[in-house]
Structure 1
Amino acid sequence: MTIAGKISKAGFIAAFSLLGLAVSQANASTAPAMTDAEKEAAKLIYFERCAGCHGVLRKGATGKNLEPNWSITQPDGSKLEGGTLRLGTKRLENIIAYGTEGGMVNYDDILTPEEINMMARYLQHEPPIPPEFSLQDMKDSWNLIVPLSERVTKQMNKINLKNVFAVTLRDAGKLALIDGDTHKVWKILESGYAVHISRFSASGRYVYTTGRDGLTTIIDLWPEEPMTVATVRFGSDMRSVDVSKYKGYEDKYLIGGTYWPPQYSIVDGLTLEPIKVVSTRGQTVDGEYHPEPRVASIVANPLKPEWVVSVKETGQILLVDYTDLDNLKSTAIASSKFLHDGGWDASHRYFLVAANASNQVAAVDTKTGKLAAIVDTAKIPHPGRGANFTHPEFGPVWSTGHLGDDVVSLISTPSEEKKNAKYKKHNWKVVQELKMPGAGNLFVKTHPKSKNFWADAPMNPEREIAESVYVFDLNDLSKEPRVLNVGKDSGLPEGKAIRRAVQPEYNQAGDEVWISLWGGKADQSAIVIYDDKTLKVKSVITSPEIITPTGKFNLYNTMFDVY
């Protein structure tokens, strides 16, 4: 959900949490009246702001179930019932306006009071079911702008491509390509609404973007100025893509996964021509059928010709073999429900993914193709790709922050190096929790050449916390983190809305850290660049075209999974 905005009245946040949906309140048997125009407007707002956490069908995952009525049979046979009809319009208005302690932000300065009331009424109606999206629909949407035969055969510019940053300008529906050496904006291109992720080809020539409108673009970095060479739509909400990277298959295929419809699709890696669509509907790890098991994170296995695909609601991790698409082979690994994002350990053998609503992290051994572990963590882990470093006491660790708890969890990971054999007893355990000033973390980051560990807290309700980042000293993790107020360091005047500091990202050399200062669409935002050693500001990238910057992806670090 969009996180620009100001949250106040901390008591309200706790009092109106959706954790207690089954409440004793006067039941409403029918939903409040709405005009057709209101329903259409509310449907759009829900898709843009809410569906990512609560699901298109409102069955919940990271966010709570928002169906008008729901019933759960508990292990003892008793039933727990609830729903938005039981909450009623006034309470729903308060939840939307002020947020909840579980990580939902306020919308009182994003939506008007009239829109908040409209959304409170809309949530008491049955959710509309959007249309499916077939292989033919994908083919109809495919646009090959520059065929392979017409593309340049060598790099025509002098940009150091390995240090280029692809920056999402979320609400503008654009992607900024920024020269990491000069800190100058190289090119801004149309990319579709709310790009969620940028990935790079195995060759480093192409950028792939995908976002909430289901549109995937491929951008060629070799011409004098970067240009979009092909587009295709995968569905109506999309979160991840990756190319084939195994030797002999480099950039041959690209896979993308959608939240709606719940499926993954495979296209040509250089032209985006659609090839295959595979549904993910099916049984959860609990043995129940789920109609909306959304595809979350996708990564390419460097050890085998396969992709690792996380299916959110079912808790299934799929190893999809791309050597023979006509006779597609896929291994389903049962883990934990509500899978979200994740990354590789330092050895690039184990993929760790947050099962955020289950408060767990699942680890897959991609060498053996089996589940390695399920690790209990603090509330609502949200690692991004996570961060790897060697702990002075516990050896190699992978880390995740939490949306719902004020700690960063460090998980011991296996190593085949003899020097790390002494740490084996700690493997797949949370060996330490780093204390944060509050909950609401989205991303953590470090670099092999750095002695610092960076964590943000953009989902925290307090302005000072949300506008700051926190830097831990890897030489002494017992020390409190250094606090860098990115909002003040940007030099921008303080506005009504919180400008949230989000997603630390290193440059190729590992000596700079870039932070997005994410304001509202009408506010001036910025990217603040810090020297990793001195923690002093080196540069601030701010101009009218830098609108709602969020994710930043350095080409080299993204290609080689450096985090």
Structure 2
Amino acid sequence: LRPKALKKKEAYMLADTILNGREGTAMPSWKHMFSKDDAAGMVQWLMDWKNTVELKLSLDDVHKTWKQLANRSELYKKYPHPTDVKDVKDITFATERDASLVDFIDSTNGKVLSRHKAGFAVHVTVTNKRMPRYAYSISRSGRLTMFDLNAPGQPALASVQVGQESRGLAVSPDGKYVMAGNYNPGGAVLCDAKTLEPLKVYPTSSVIDPDGSIGPSRVAFIADTPYAPYFVFALKDGGHVYIVDYSKPDFPIVGDVPNIGKILHDAFENEGKQIGRFVYVASQGSDLMGVIDLKTRTLAAKVYTGPGTKPHPGQGSSWYNKDYGQLNATNSMNVGDVVIWDMDNEAVANVPTAGGGLFVGTSKDTPYIWSDCVLGGPDNYNKVYLINKQTLKTDRIIEVGKKEGHLIDAHTGKVLQKWDATQYTRVTPKATHSKISKEDLVPYTAKLGKKV
């Protein structure tokens, strides 16, 4: 809802979005509450907004919001081992975006261990690899929260309001620091990973964009890397990437990589040899993946994904292929196409899917790259393509409906499996106050409402 961006839109289209929502996004329909005149009035008010105040990121302002919700030291001594699971690495994190909840689930049996209020539209949840008992979440409303996975109920230990609107989150491999990124006020915040105390801010309220203009920039992805003691984050509107060295006093910016492209968004790193040396950055305004070499702290190459594709790798994919060596992949929001390239930054395959998507992922335990089609329209949004990591062809398609789901052989079209996918209305239990932490919990209930 930025006036400059809104003024580039047609007012009638914005009013229609208010009334009818927007497919493939979190924007619902409001026509049951607002009339056409109501929607037109809101659009006019937003487009003619006069009182715009450019917020600037301040360490003092952020530090004032830092709260200790439980005694970390006492819990550390009292619960040296996990209480709700055998291994905290078996805990899966799930975000209920619209409900503003973080869920912790025992992946060995599917049991929901706890559900926590963690700010509006929780966006990312990550773990501390050096100290895996600690996990962190960032909400789009700017709340950064830290949890203790060893203690019963996985209580929240601390929180801090890093901004008004936030997105990215990363934890340093040495377990000492966590960094969060803001859309508003633009910038990144570095915190102590044991206490969540804010240590430094990196404002991006005045940067040079790809057109040479000076203005504010949102911060898109934030990444840690095993290659060097760096945090890497993208200036979404600025078109360049900052590299922060957290091993040095005062955590300086030691690299500034410009001219990557317009509207930077997601990023991921290479696996295999020299893991984490290369950062692949999606430029959605220039339809490419920029390749950042952390050894030289320069832009090594650009991999073009095609006109109008708008690449969106999500967590991205990097894996070993017996013919090409290490490969990498992204999908795109506007086109059903998974682009695959090698370590020479040459595209080696384009795998068609049923529509645009947001995530492409894999792991060492699956023979597939998994790519969604959530932006593929009403006939395709519920499909996930399973692309063979060696043949680079689609082998399976998962199709989920409201009543049943299918696993389909992509070569023959044969349905290999059927699943009951019946959905039910949500039964929301009342929130209760934690006995360990200063937070409200929302218990999980197995009770089902009416069938949808």
Residue 459 of structure 1: how far off its partner (Å): 2.3
Among 230, 235, 241, the alignment partner of 1:311 is 235
Instruction: State how far apart, in whole Å, the 1-side matches of 2:31 and 2:269 are.
Output: 36
Shift of 1:110: 7.8
- The corresponding residue for 2:432 is none
Q: 1:429 aligns with which of 342, 346, 357?
A: 346
Alignment of 1:518-537 (within 5 A): none
Within the candidate set 414, 424, 427, 1:544 is matched to 427
- Match of 2:98, SS? helix
Of 408, 412, 416, which residue of structure 1 is paired with 2:342?
Answer: 412
> 2:404, 2:421 within 8 Å by CA — same for their partners in 1?
no
> Which of 152, 168, 176 is matched with 1:240 structurally?
168
Which digits, 9 at most, give the CA deviation of each residue in 1:226-273, with x for residues without a partner?
A: 10000001010111122222xxxx222221111011111111111111
Between 1:134-143 and 1:389-398, the stretch displaced more is: 389-398
Q: Which residue, out of 365, 374, 390, partners 1:449?
A: 365
Match runs of 1:238-317 below 5 Å: 238-245=166-173, 250-280=174-204, 281-291=206-216, 293-317=217-241
Residue identity (%): 27
Mapped contact 1:183–1:541 kept (Cα < 8 A): no
Give, in angstroms, the shift of residue 190 of structure 1: 1.3
Gapped runs of 5+ residues in structure 1?
1-45, 47-56, 60-64, 68-82, 414-426, 492-533, 547-563
Is there any run of 5+ residues in structure 2 with no aligned partner, and where? 407-415, 430-452
**Shift in Å at residue 209 of structure 1?**
0.3
- Indicate conservation of the 8 Å contact 2:403/2:421, yes or no: no
The equivalent of 1:390 in structure 2 is 320
Question: What do residues 455-513 of structure 1 show as CA deviations (whole Å, max 9, x unaligned)?
Answer: 11222331x3112322233454345652422544379xxxxxxxxxxxxxxxxxxxxxx
Alignment pair present for 1:94 and 2:16: yes
Name 1:121's counterpart in structure 2.
44
Displacement of 1:537: 5.2
1:470 to 385, 399, 402: 385
Which residue of the partner structure matches residue 446 of structure 2?
none
Q: Partners of 2:42 and 2:268 in 1: how far apart? A: 35
For the Cα contact (< 8 Å) 2:21–2:28, is it kept in 1?
yes
> Distance between the aligned counterparts of 1:211 and 1:307, measured in 2?
20
Q: Is the 8 A contact 1:467 1:487 kept in 2?
A: no
Secondary structure at the aligned position of 1:465 is classed as coil
CA shift digits 1:58-114 (9 cap, x unpaired) = 44xxxxx323xxxxxxxxxxxxxxx34xx34x343235556789x778743687443
Secondary structure of the 2:250 match is helix
Report the AA paired with residue 427 of structure 2. Answer: P
Post-superposition shift, 1:321? 0.6
Structure with greater helix share of residues: 1
Write the letter of the residue equivalent to 1:433.
N
Return closer, same or farther for 1:121/1:429 CA change in 2, 3 Å cut-off.
same
Counterparts in 2 of 1:324-363, with a 5 A limit?
Answer: 324-326=248-250, 328-334=252-258, 335-347=260-272, 348=275, 349-363=277-291
1:215 paired to 2:143: yes
Which of 182, 195, 199 is matched with 2:126 structurally? 199
8 A contact 1:138–1:233 mirrored in 2: yes
Cα distance in 1, alignment partners of residues 190 and 261 from structure 2: 25
Q: TM-score of the superposition, structure 2-length normalised?
A: 0.81
Matching residue within 470, 485, 490 for 2:400: 485
Contact kept? 2:327, 2:340, Cα under 8 Å: yes
Task: Report the CA distance between 1:386 and its aligned residue.
Answer: 0.6
User: 1:224 and 2:152 equivalent?
Assistant: yes
- State the Cα distance separating 1:317 from its structure 2 match: 1.0
Which whole-Å deviations, capped at 9, do the CAs of 1:399-441 have from their partners, x for residues lacking one? 111111121111212xxxxxxxxxxxxx2122211111122x0
Aligned twin of 2:377? 461
C-alpha distance in 1, partners of 2:45/2:175? 44
- Give the corresponding residue for 1:18: none
- The range that moved more, 278-287 or 375-384, is 278-287
- Partners of 2:417 and 2:319 lie apart in 1 by 19
Residues 56 and 185, structure 2, Cα contact 8 Å, conserved in 1: yes
1:512 matched residue in structure 2: none
Hey, what's the Cα distance between the residues in 1 that align with 2:185 and 2:191? Answer: 16
CA distance in 2, matches of 1:442, 1:325: 38
CA drift at 1:138: 1.2
Deviation at 1:179, TM superposition (A): 0.7
Q: Distance in 2 between matches of 1:433 and 1:99?
A: 32
Q: Which has the higher contact order (CA 8 A, sep 6+)?
A: 1
Query: Is 1:151 paired with 2:75?
Result: yes
1:138–1:371 Cα change, 3 Å:
same
Q: Greater strand percent: which structure?
A: 2
Asked whether the 8 Å contact 1:469–1:486 carries over to 2, the reply is: no
Which deviations, in whole Å up to 9, do the C-alpha atoms of 1:192-211 show, x marking residues without a partner? Answer: 11111011112211110001
> Partner letter of residue 224 of structure 1?
P
SS at match of 1:367: coil
Equivalent positions of 1:55-74 (< 5 A) are 57-59=2-4, 65-67=5-7
SS at match of 1:149: helix
Residue 138 of structure 1, aligned match among 38, 55, 62: 62
Counterpart CA distance in 1 for 2:106 and 2:213 is 49
Partner of 1:168: 95
> Aligned with 1:469: secondary structure?
strand
Give the drift of 1:176: 0.5
Residue of structure 2 equivalent to 1:500: none
Tell me, yes or no, if the aligned pair for 1:183 and 1:539 is still in contact at 8 Å: no
1:490-505 to 2 correspondences below 5 Å: none
User: Residue type of the partner of 2:136?
Assistant: Y
- Shift in alpha-carbon separation, 1:130–1:286, aligned structure 2, 3 A: closer
Contact 2:147-2:155 at 8 Å conserved across structures = yes
Asked if structure 1 preserves the Cα contact closer than 8 Å seen for 2:3 and 2:48, the reply is no
| CA deviation profile, 1:32-58 (whole Å, cap 9, x unmatched) | xxxxxxxxxxxxxx5xxxxxxxxxx34
Question: CA 1:236 to 1:116, structure 2 compared with 1: closer, same or farther past 3 Å?
Answer: same
Q: What CA RMSD, in Å, does the superposition of the two structures yield over aligned residues?
A: 2.9
1:108 equivalent in structure 2: 29
What whole-Å deviation, never above 9, does each CA across 1:97-140 have from its counterpart, x for those lacking one? 56789x77874368744364444333432363364442122121
